[in-house]
Structure 1
Amino acid sequence: MIEYFLKVVFIYIATLFKFIAGPVLGLAAGLSSIEMLVITVSGMMTTVFSITLLGDWFRTNWQLGLTKKKKVFTPRTRKIVTVWRKYGLLGVAALTPLLLTPVGGTIILNAFNVKKEKIFLYMFVSAMVWGVIFSFSIQYILEIPFLGDLLR
């Protein structure tokens, strides 16, 4: 029982930072697809809630980086603005599990002052959709002869 609990906690902690870690590590640990889905979505949504709710607190209580003047448009900020203009809220939420991390996607949405309720809803729907796709298909992906041999 302790071994199972430690597996779940480890996978949960990994999904706080990288979404795909849930299904991949869950399969390696021998978890069912439903268990992988629950752990993966829980990890991502914990990150989304934490960053969204604590982001306001950090902005008001910590004066991070305000002592020295920074460049407004760096290559990194230009890429973020390009992603936002091109895809908007729906696109950022949909790309978060695939390309962005839960941390990165949530920070982008908070930086553009999206309402908290919308962040929670869109990120949850995105996590559920991609979680179902990854959790239920990862076993079949690894059964593809050449691809499965490369990934094992």
Structure 2
Amino acid sequence: MKLATVFLLSTIKFLGGPLAGSKMGLGFWPTLGLTVAGMMTSVFIISGVGRTWVLHRQQQRRLRRVPVFSKRSRNIIKVFKRFGMGGIAFLTPVLLSPIGGTVIATLLGVPRQRILLHMLWSAVLWGGVLTLASTRIGHMLHH
């Protein structure tokens, strides 16, 4: 049950995985592995159905005559233009969510394999940092 909780939390909100793993007393490596696996499961699924979803969203916007650009979408495009897919991937675990970051990358037309590659290194990087931080902070609080 502990393992499933860490995995499932990481599919939706990345930070939840390391925090839950630390709180439940899981070690560094199992928590990191489940956190990365959870995020990558979301990325894999969303990037797979993403193109169809993007076309659907574009059609819905045209029908409702909703503006394409909002303040938030302009900021995302600025990050993408300046830092590319690496920037989106870097921000995904801490500011966005695995689903949100993948949707953004898909909307911006990034090929699926590039999305998967960039999200993987980001998940490993942030998973390691957040898991280490949560286990250290948890250890300090218990002593």
**Fold match by TM threshold 0.5:** yes
- Letter of the aligned partner of 1:111 in structure 2? L
Contact kept, 8 Å, 2:51 with 2:106, in 1: the verdict is no
The match for 1:36 is 31
The alignment status of 1:76 with 2:69, answered yes or no, reads no
Whichever of the two has the greater Rg, that structure is 1
Aligned length in residues? 141
4+ residue stretches of structure 1 with deviation over 3 A? 59-66
Please state how far the C-alpha of 1:60 moved relative to its aligned partner: 5.1
Instruction: Indicate the percent of aligned positions where both proteins have the same amino acid.
Output: 34
CA displacement at 1:86 relative to structure 2: 2.8
Deviation at 1:138, TM superposition (A): 2.1
Q: Which moved more, 1:51-60 or 1:96-105?
A: 51-60
Report how far residue 133 of structure 1 moved.
Answer: 1.8
Shift of 1:143: 4.6
Deviation string 1:34-92 (CA, Å, 9 cap, x unpaired) is: 11011100110011011100112334578544422111222222122122123221111
1:17 corresponds, among 12, 20, 33, to 12
Establish whether residue 128 from structure 1 lines up as the match of residue 124 from structure 2: yes
Are the aligned partners of 2:61 and 2:67 in contact in 1 as well (CA < 8 Å)? no
Could you tell me the TM-score, scaled by structure 2's length? 0.87
Alpha-carbon distance change, 18 to 51 in structure 1, aligned in 2, over 3 angstroms: same
Where structure 2 has 5 or more consecutive residues not aligned to the other structure, the ranges are none
State the shift of 1:126 in Å. Answer: 0.9
Larger RCO: 1 or 2 (CA < 8 Å, sep 6+) = 2
What secondary structure, in the 3-state scheme, does the structure 2 residue paired with 1:67 have?
helix
Per-residue CA distance 1:99-148 (angstroms, 9 max, x = gap): 1111111111111111111110110011111112222332223455xxx4
Q: Identify unmatched segments of 5+ residues in structure 1.
A: 1-5
Task: Work out the CA distance in 1 between the residues paired with 2:39 and 2:118.
Answer: 12
Q: 1:103 aligns with which of 99, 102, 122?
A: 99
What is the CA–CA distance in structure 2 between the aligned matches of 1:123 and 1:110, rounded to whole Å?
12
After TM superposition, the score normalised by the length of structure 1 is 0.82
